Chains A and B, each alone.
Chain A
Amino acid sequence: MNNVFYNNKLLTGVNQAAISLKEEASKIMEFQGNTRGEMLAANINYIEFREGKESVAYIERKLEELGFPVTIRKFKALKWYPESLSVLIVMVAREIFNWADQDIFDMGNAAPKSSLVVQLLMRHFFSSRKSFEAMPKYWRSNFDFGELEAFGFDEEKKSFVIRINGYKFHPIMCIYYAGYFLRIAQFIIKSPKIEIEEKKCAYGNGSYHEYEIKWQ
C-alpha cells in the first residue's frame, strides 16, 4: 500500500473525543441524507476483516445500546440507508476497537473495494481523465444529498481536486473520505505514490471539503 498522508501528517494516534458517544450519536442521527447500503456493508466487512467475525455482534450490541438497533447483515447494496448510520458505525468501531485515525483512514480506503457502484462506474474507464470526469456521477449514485465536484485534472502536474458540498456529519468522516477518495484515485491512476490532502474542511477553513490528490 502507498504511504498515506493526511494534512501532511502520517495518520496515526487515538482519537480522544471529549464528548460521549451517546451524545454524539444522538446529534449525528438528526442529520438528513442517505447513502447506498453497500457503503454500510463495506464498513462492516472491513470491521469483520480487521477484528474477526464476533466483531459484528459487538457493533450491533453497541448500536442497540445507543438506541439505534439494526440488523447489520440485512443491508442491501443498492438500498438507501441514512448516512448518519454509516457514520455511527465508523464511530462505534473506533470506540470499541480503540482505533486510531489511520484505522479510520484504512477503513475508508477499503470501502470502494467491495462497492458494486464503483465497479459499475468503472465502465466509464478507458482513461484516467474520463474516470475523473465521471466522479460527480459516482457521488450521485452513492448519496442522495450533497454534491461532488471534480476539477483541475492536470496530467503534467499530476494532480486533481475533489470538492464535496453539503456534507457535514462528523469530522471523523473527513479522515474516512480521505481514505475513500484516495482509493478511487488508486483505481484510476497508476502511480507508485499517490497522496491525498484535505485542503479545505467544512468544520474549519471552508464551507465545503476539498481534497487535493497528487501522484508521482
Chain B
Amino acid sequence: MDQEELLGAENQRLKEDLEALEGYINEFSEFLPLPICTVNPLNIVLGINQSFQNLTGYNAIEICGRDVTELFLEKQGIGSFVDEALRDSNRAVREMTLLAKNNVKIPVNVYGLSRKDDANNFIGYFLAISDISELKKSQEGLEERVSAKTKDLEESKRALVNILEDVDEARVRAEDERNKTLAVITNFTDGLLIFDKNGNLSLVNPQAETLMGIKSQDVVGSAFSRLKKIQAFGLLSEIIGKKSKGVARAEVKLKDALVLDVTRASIIREKENIGTLVVLHDITREKMIEKMKTEFVSLAAHQLRTPLSAIKWSLKMLLDEDLGKINEEQRGFMEKTYGSNERMISLINDLLNVTKIEEGRYLSNLALSDIDKIIRSVIDVYKDEVVKKGLSVEFNVPKAKLPPIKIDAEKIQLSFQNIFDNAVRYNRAKGKITVGLKRSKDEIEVSVQDTGMGVPKDQQKRVFSKFFRGENVMKKDTEGTGLGLFIAKNIIVSHGGRIWFESEEGKGSTFYFTLPLV
C-alpha cells in the first residue's frame, strides 16, 4: 500500500469516526432530558437540543440567531448573569423566567457553563434550563398557606387585642360601677352589712358603724359566729342567723333610744346564694311618734268613754221611762241618740283595743276555755239580728268533744264576734251563715262562711289592715270602724294562731282562724 492509499484509508477512518461521533452527539442531544442551548459571546443562540424545543415550543430555526436575552423576562438579569458570572467563573446558576412560545412564562433555574478555547478565551456558553414551575407552584402554595396562616394569626391577634381592650374597658366600667356602688353604699342613709356566702362580714357602711357602735376595720372579715359576742350583733342574731332564703324583717331595739327596722335579704346571683345583705333602718323617731299617737288615742278614748257611758245610762233611764213618760216622737229621737252613742262606745272600745294591741299589752288572762261555748255565746247574742235579717245560721261541730284550749277567752270571743258581726252585717237578706269547728292534730280551726257581698279581689290584700273597709261595703253601710278584722287578726296571731279568708265579690266570704291546742 503506497502513501496515498494509506492517507486515503486514514481519511476514511477519520470520516467514519466523525460520522459515528455526530450520530452519538445527535442521539445524546435527543435523549438528554435537560433543555440546553449553545450561546456565543454575543449572546446569540447558536444551537438547541430537543428538550429545549419541547420546553420552549420553539424549534432551532425560530431560536437560533436570536439574542438569548429575548428568551428571558429578566433582560438585565441574563445580561448580568453572563457578564458577571460566566465570564469570571466557569459555572453559574440563577433563577429566571423563560419566555416560551406564545408568551408563556416558565419559572426556571438557569445553569450556565462558560466555554473557553485552549488559550482560555471566552468563546461562549451553554445554558441548561431547569423547569421549576412545579416547585414554584408548591412554594407559592406553601407561601399562600403561610400567608393565609399568618393572616389568620394576625386576625386572631387583632381579635385578642380587641378582646383585651373590651376586657379592659369592661374592667374600667366594672371599677366605675364598683366605685359608684361603694359611693351609694357609703352614702346610704340606712346602715348596711354584707356577709359573704361563708358567713363572714365583708362590708360595713358608715351608717351601720354609727348605729351599731362598731368600727369597720374591727369587724370586717370576721365570721358572724364570732361577731355575735359583740352586743349589737348579738341583738341582731335572731334575724341575721336565720337560715332561710329570701327576705326577713324584724324590729330590734338596740338600746333605749334606738329602734331599728332590720331587713335581711339573701343576695342571689344565677340561682346561687352568694351572701346576705342586712339593712338597718333607724325607726326610733317613728316608733316614738307612734307611741305618742297610741298614748294620745288611749287617753282620748278613756276620756271619752266615761262621759259616753254616762250618756248611755242617762238615755237608758229616759227610754225606760224611769224619769217619766215620753211620747213616741221623743222615744224615736232618743233611740237614735242611744244607737249613735252605742256606736261611739263601740268605736272607743275598738280604739282602746287597738292601742292595747300596739302597746303589746293586749293579752292578759290566758286560761283553759271551751271554744265551742264561746262561739255559741256570740251566735246567741246575734239571735235577734239574725231573725231580723231573715238569715239562717248553721253551726257545725265535730262529733267528738273538743278539748279546752289555753286562750284569753274574752279576746277570742271579741275576735270571733268581729268576724261573725261582718257575716251578719254584710250578708244578703235571707242569706246563710255557716259556722264550723274542726280539730286537727295540733290546732282547732274555726270558719265562718257567709253569702254576703264578698271582698273585691283588688282589695283583699288590705282586709286585715287598720281602718280598712271595702268599697262595696262603704256604699251600702256607712257604719263600721274598719278595725274589727285588724283586732281579730292581732288577737289570733298573739295566740300563735293563723287567720285567712276566701272571698268572691257578690257571692260571699269564708273567714278561717286556728288556735293551737298546746
Are A and B interaction partners?
A: yes
For window 104-148 of A, CB contacts with B under 8 Å fall at 110, 112-114, 116, 118-119, 122-126, 128
Nearest B residue to A126, CB-CB: B121
Nearest Cβ distance between residue A186 and chain B, in whole angstroms?
6
Give min CB distance, A83 to chain B, whole Å: 18
Interface: A79 (CB within 8 A): yes
CA distance A167 to B251 in the complex (A): 141
Instruction: List residues 33-48 of chain B with CB under 8 A from any CB of chain A.
Output: 38, 40-44, 46-47
What is the CB-to-nearest-CB distance from B90 to chain A, in angstroms, rounded to a whole number?
16
Known contacts A119-B46, A187-B46, A126 near B41 by CB under 8 Å: yes
User: Closest residue to A187 on the B side, CB-wise?
Assistant: B44
Distance from A162 Cβ to chain B, minimum over Cβ atoms (Å): 18
Is A113 in contact with B19, judged by CB distance below 8 angstroms? Answer: no
Q: Give complex CA distance A78, B115 in Å.
A: 23
Contact A125 B123 (CB under 8 A): yes
Count of A interface residues, CB-CB < 8 Å: 26
CB distance from B93 to the nearest CB of A (A): 23
| B290 contacts the other chain (CB 8 A) | no
A86 within 8 A of B: no
Contacts of B122 in A (CB 8 A): 126
A-contact 0/1 string along B50-73, CB 8 Å cutoff: 000000000111011100000000
| B446 to A: closest C-beta gap in Å | 127
- Structural contact, B22 and A114, CB atoms closer than 8 A: no
Q: Taking A76-B19, A78-B19, A119-B47 as contacts, is the C-beta distance between A125 and B64 under 8 angstroms?
A: no
* CA of A45 to CA of B60, assembled, Å: 9
Bound together, the chains give a CA A186 to CA B283 distance in angstroms of: 120
Contact partner of A122 among B22, B121, B123, CB < 8 A? Answer: B123
Cα-based distance from A52 to B452 in the complex (angstroms): 124
B63 nearest in chain A by CB position: A113
**A112 and B23 alpha carbons, distance in the complex (Å):** 19
Please indicate the chain B residues that have their CB under 8 angstroms from the CB of A79 in the complex.
Answer: 15, 19
Given A126-B117, A126-B122, A183-B65, do A190 and B44 touch, yes or no (CB 8 Å)?
Answer: yes
Taking a contact as CB atoms under 8 Å apart, the answer to whether B60 and A125 are in contact is no
Chain B residues within 8 Å of chain A by Cβ, number: 27
Interface string of B103-121 (1 = CB under 8 A from A): 0000000000001010001
Q: How far is the CA of A186 from the CA of B40 in the complex (A)?
A: 11
A46 to B47 Cα, complex, angstroms: 15
**What separation, in Å, do the CA atoms of A126 and B41 have in the docked complex?**
7
Shortest distance in angstroms between B57's beta carbon and chain A's nearest beta carbon?
Answer: 13
Q: Is B124 in the interface zone, CB < 8 Å from A?
A: yes
Contact at A78–B117, with CB atoms within 8 Å? Answer: no
Contact among B42, B61, B117, B121 for A114, CB-based, below 8 A: B61
Whether the Cβ atoms of A113 and B64 lie closer than 8 Å is yes
How far apart sit A77 and B59, CA to CA, in the bound complex (Å)?
18
**Taking CB as reference atom, which chain B residue is nearest A79?**
B19
A113 to B60 CA separation, bound complex (whole angstroms): 7
Quick check: is B18 within 8 A (CB to CB) of the other chain? yes
C-beta contact mask, A65-106 vs B, less than 8 Å → 1, else 0?
A: 000000000001111000000000000000000000000000
The answer on a CB contact under 8 Å between A116 and B121 is: no
- How far, in angstroms, from A113 to B121 measured CA to CA in the complex? 23
Q: Which of chain A's residues have a CB closer than 8 A to the CB of B46?
A: 113, 118-119, 122, 187
- A32 to B513: give the CA distance in the assembly, Å: 152
Is B25 in the interface zone, CB < 8 Å from A? yes
- Closest beta carbon of chain B to A188's beta carbon, Å: 7
For B42, what are the chain A residues with a Cβ–Cβ distance below 8 Å?
128, 187-190
Q: Are A116 and B123 in contact (CB under 8 A)?
A: no
B362 to chain A, nearest CB (A): 131
- CB neighbours (8 Å) of A189 from chain B are 42
Residues of A close to B40: CB separation below 8 A: 122, 125, 187-188
Residue contact A125 to B22, C-beta cutoff 8 Å: no
Whether A78 and B15, one on each chain, are in contact in the complex, defined by CB atoms closer than 8 angstroms, is: yes
State the Cβ distance, A180 to closest chain B Cβ, in Å. Answer: 12
Contact B38 A119 (CB under 8 A): yes
Cross-interface CB contact of B65 among A123, A128, A186, cutoff 8 Å: A186
B residues within 8 A CB of A114? 47, 60-61, 64
Taking CB atoms, residues of chain B closer than 8 Å to A126 are: 41, 117, 121-123
Measured CA separation A121–B41 after assembly (Å): 14
Q: How far is the CB of B313 from chain A (nearest CB, A)?
A: 152
B23 nearest CB neighbor, chain A only: A76
The docked-state distance in angstroms from the alpha carbon of A110 to that of B62 is 9
- On whether A187 and B65 interact (CB within 8 A), knowing A113-B60, A118-B46, the answer reads yes
Chain B residues, Cβ within 8 Å of A49: 59, 61
Give A57 to B173 CA distance when docked, in angstroms: 94
Question: Among A76, A119, A123, which residue has its beta carbon within 8 angstroms of that of B117?
Answer: A123
- How many whole Å from A182's CB to the nearest CB in chain B? 10
The smallest C-beta distance from A20 to any residue of chain B, in angstroms, reads 31
Taking CB atoms, residues of chain B closer than 8 Å to A110 are 61
Q: Nearest Cβ in chain B — how far from A55, in angstroms?
A: 14
Query: Which residue on chain B has the smallest CB distance to residue A80?
Result: B15
Asked if B38 and A123 sit within 8 Å, CB to CB, the answer is no
In the assembly, what is the distance between CA of A125 and CA of B116, in Å?
Answer: 9
Q: Which residues of B contact A112 (CB under 8 A)?
A: 64-65
- Chain B residues near A188 (CB, 8 Å)? 40, 42
Contact indicator per residue, chain A 34-66, by CB within 8 Å of chain B (1) or not (0): 000000000001100100000000000000000
Give B501 Cβ to nearest chain A Cβ, in Å. 118
A123 with B115, Cβ < 8 A, contacts A78-B15, A78-B18 known: yes
Chain A residues, CB < 8 A from B115: 123
Shortest CB–CB separation between residue B37 and chain A, in angstroms?
11
**Bound state CA distance, A112 and B115, in angstroms?**
20
Looking at the assembled complex, report how far the CB atom of A213 sits from the nearest CB atom of chain B, in whole angstroms: 15
Residue of B nearest to A114 (CB): B60
Return chain A residues, CB-CB under 8 Å to B18: 78
Contact with A along B418-438 (1 / 0, CB 8 A): 000000000000000000000
> Can you list 21 A-B contacts (CB < 8 A)?
A45-B60, A45-B61, A78-B22, A79-B15, A110-B61, A112-B64, A113-B60, A113-B61, A113-B63, A114-B47, A119-B46, A122-B40, A124-B117, A124-B123, A125-B41, A126-B117, A126-B123, A128-B42, A187-B44, A187-B46, A187-B65
Given contacts A76-B22, A113-B47, A123-B117, 12 further A-B contacts (CB under 8 A): A78-B18, A112-B65, A113-B46, A116-B22, A122-B38, A125-B41, A126-B117, A126-B122, A186-B44, A187-B40, A188-B40, A190-B42
